[in-house]
Structures are given as structure tokens and as C-alpha cells.
């Protein structure tokens, strides 16, 4: 049964374990047909979306994990520096999911494997890479955010799940190495996507959200 937009927003949560079932072509096309109506400034539609699977995905996963294991220097295309106002929220999220998974502060190997799973794309069989032509401006980045929101709702509406990732783009050059089709693109975000694994403990984790009055104000 299809959900309406508000239900999709409230129901959606990130998946970190996926089944082996790939997305049928007709389902993928419905997602793309829906998300192509995402608005953008002056209708510029600056985004590029690439579905990666099979041997290329395996090669990308291997390359990223090697970079992570080596402790390679991060070189993202877009800054990920957090303002002090938002840093406590990020720290709280990290603590809450580690606690939920039963990984203690002293369990250094458990914490390392938790971080490494991001670069494995949580073993998803397919990922979506959101990119943009080089030299984007601030308006372009806002357009990408709008597109990403539409994309996640379209995915949810089809009974699928995803996990928006920015940590993996720390090694943006690795994407361009394995995927030369993106050589002239900046990597903005990655979405492991697919059918969520049934009875998965970690997939039931839901991050907290601020109360409306924290970020909403009415001005008369």
C-alpha cells in the first residue's frame, strides 16, 4: 500500500543491513520518474545520479576499505566541518547508536568495525551516488539537498530503504578512480539502497529529532 508524503517522512529511518534482493527495474524506474520532479533554482536540475552494482561496486568497496584501513587522509569534495551549535547532536547520535548496538567505549575493535561498515556500504548490493558538475555554488548545493529528500521519500514509498552517507566521500578520489564516468563530477552523497534485512536489530534504530520549537519560529 502506498504511503502519503507525511507518513513517508515519519516512517523513514536509515537501514544499515540489507537483503540480497536487488531492486527490480520497474521499481527503480518508478523511483526515478518520481524524483525527477524535484524542484531546483531556475529549474537548473544540477544533479547526477548513478546506480552502482556488481563488479564495479565490489571494486569500489574494496578500494574504500583499503583507504580506511590505511588511515588515509580525508579529501572530501565538500567540507564536513560541523559548527559548534550542531556538534553535540552528532556526538549524541554516535553515542546512541553504539549503545544500541552494545558497543562499549572500551571496545576499540568493535568501534572500528562499526565505522568500517560505512565504507562497505553495509553490504548493500546496489548504491546510488549523487554528484554534481565541478564548481557548484551554494544554490546548487541546496538543490542537491532538495533532490536527496525527494529521493529518500521515493525510496521509502516503494518499500525500500537507504542510508544517506557523507563519511564515505572522505575518499572522493577513490570514487573517481573506480568510476571514471564521474571524473568531472564532485561526489556529494551516497545512498546504499535496497530491501532492508528482515528482523535486523540495527535497522530498528531511530535517531532522535529536535522538538519543533527548537528550529521553528512564527514572526508577525
The domains located in the chain, with CATH, are: 5-79+120-205 (3.40.109.10)
Specify the residue for cell string 568501534.
Answer: 111
Query: 105 Cβ partners below 8 Å, 6+ apart?
Result: 98
- pLDDT tens digits for range 74-118: 999 998 888 888 999 999 999 999 999 999 999 999 999 999 999
Query: By C-alpha distance, which of 4, 21, 12 is closest to 197?
Result: 21
- What is the biggest distance separating any 2 CA atoms in the chain, rounded to whole angstroms? 57
Tell me what the mean pLDDT of segment 159-163 comes to: 96
Mean pLDDT of the chain: 94
User: Could you give the CA distance from residue 168 to residue 178 in angstroms, rounded to a whole number?
Assistant: 14
User: Could you tell me which residues are beta bridge partners of residue 130?
Assistant: 49, 189
Q: To the nearest 10°, report the CA torsion of 181, 167, 130, 151.
A: 150
Q: Supply the pLDDT for residue 7.
A: 85
Q: Supply the pLDDT for residue 80.
A: 84
Q: Examine the pLDDT at 1 and tell me if it is beyond 60.
A: no
Amino acid at each position: 500500500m502506498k504511503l502519503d508524503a507525511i507518513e513517508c517522512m515519519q516512517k523513514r529511518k536509515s537501514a544499515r543491513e540489507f537483503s540480497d534482493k536487488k531492486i527490480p527495474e520497474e521499481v527503480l524506474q518508478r523511483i526515478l520518474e518520481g524524483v525527477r520532479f524535484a524542484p531546483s533554482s531556475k529549474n537548473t536540475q544540477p544533479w547526477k545520479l548513478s546506480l552502482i552494482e556488481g563488479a564495479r561496486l565490489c571494486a569500489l568497496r574494496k578500494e574504500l576499505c583499503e583507504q580506511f584501513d590505511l588511515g588515509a587522509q580525508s579529501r572530501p569534495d565538500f567540507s564536513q566541518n560541523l559548527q559548534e551549535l550542531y556538534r553535540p547532536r552528532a556526538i549524541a547520535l554516535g553515542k546512541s547508536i553504539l549503545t544500541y548496538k552494545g558497543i562499549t567505549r572500551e571496545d576499540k575493535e568493535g568501534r572500528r568495525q562499526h565505522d568500517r561498515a560505512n565504507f562497505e556500504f553495509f553490504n548493500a548490493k546496489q548504491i546510488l551516488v549523487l554528484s554534481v558538475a565541478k564548481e557548484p555554488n551554494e544554490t546548487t548545493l541546496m538543490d542537491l539537498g532538495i533532490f536527496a529528500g525527494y529521493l529518500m521519500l521515493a525510496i521509502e514509498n516503494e518499500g525500500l530503504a537507504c542510508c544517506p552517507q557523507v563519511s564515505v566521500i572522505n575518499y572522493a578520489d577513490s570514487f573517481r578512480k573506480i568510476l571514471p564516468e564521474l571524473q568531472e563530477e564532485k561526489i556529494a552523497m551516497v545512498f546504499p539502497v535496497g530491501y532492508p534485512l528482515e528482523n535486523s536489530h540495527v535497522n530498528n534504530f531511530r535517531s532522535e529529532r529536535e522538538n519543533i520549537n527548537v528550529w521553528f519560529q512564527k514572526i508577525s
